[in-house]
Amino acid sequence: MPVVTLLLLLTTGSAAIAQHGAVQAARAADTSIADAAQYAEQKQYDKAVEAYLEAIRLNPTSVVAHLGLGTTYQNMGRPADAVEPLRTAVRLEPENAVAHLTLGLALAALHHADEALAELTEAKHLWPSRRQTPTTARQRRTHISAWIPC
């Protein structure tokens, strides 16, 4: 067998193995995310945090895991801990309105008014207009104004 063919087979084989490993890690991360969401729904926030951290370890580019972790910290009343994973979610997926909104709320809770306003404004621009009825817009403004001191 020519050396070039052997090298090609070895390279292709190791790429396939690496791809298979990445697929398995992504599946395991998805399982951890599902577990975390279930824990969060049951208000078992410490377990949810552990599961989200495991998902991030398995798949560091999972926007859902970073967003879930940040949201869980928010639900625990820990906005300072929420900021880093939420910033990561925004960095990984800049068009994600929910990530910008959640980050804005965490920053508002920390009284970082300028940063919060920037994130909330970005969320408003990214939010799908077809879902923004006058009622939901009013509810969102009411919810946001509760977080930002006037």
For the segment 122-139, what is each residue's pLDDT rounded down to a tens digit?
999 998 764 545 455 555
Closest to 101 measured CA to CA, from 147, 55, 60: 147
Residue 103 confidence (pLDDT): 98
Among 1.25.40.10, 2.40.100.20, 3.40.225.10, 1.20.140.10, name the CATH number for the domain at 3-147.
Answer: 1.25.40.10
Q: Is the pLDDT of residue 148 over 60?
A: no
Instruction: Please state the domain extents for the chain.
Output: 3-147
**Amino acid code (one letter) for 149:** P
Residue 6 confidence (pLDDT): 46
Residue 150 confidence (pLDDT): 42
Closest to 97 measured CA to CA, from 63, 146, 60, 65: 63
Residue 13 confidence (pLDDT): 53
pLDDT confidence tier of residue 15, bands split at 50, 70 and 90:
very low
Residue 52 confidence (pLDDT): 97
Helix 79-92 and helix 97-109, axial crossing angle in degrees, nearest 10: 150
Residue 75, number of CB atoms within 10 A of its CB? 13
Residue 73 confidence (pLDDT): 98
Per-chain mean pLDDT for the chain: 83
In angstroms, the CA 100 to CA 29 distance is 23
Closest to 81 measured CA to CA, from 120, 107, 48, 50: 107
Residue 23 confidence (pLDDT): 77
In angstroms, the CA 61 to CA 3 distance is 37
**Amino acid code (one letter) for 87:** R
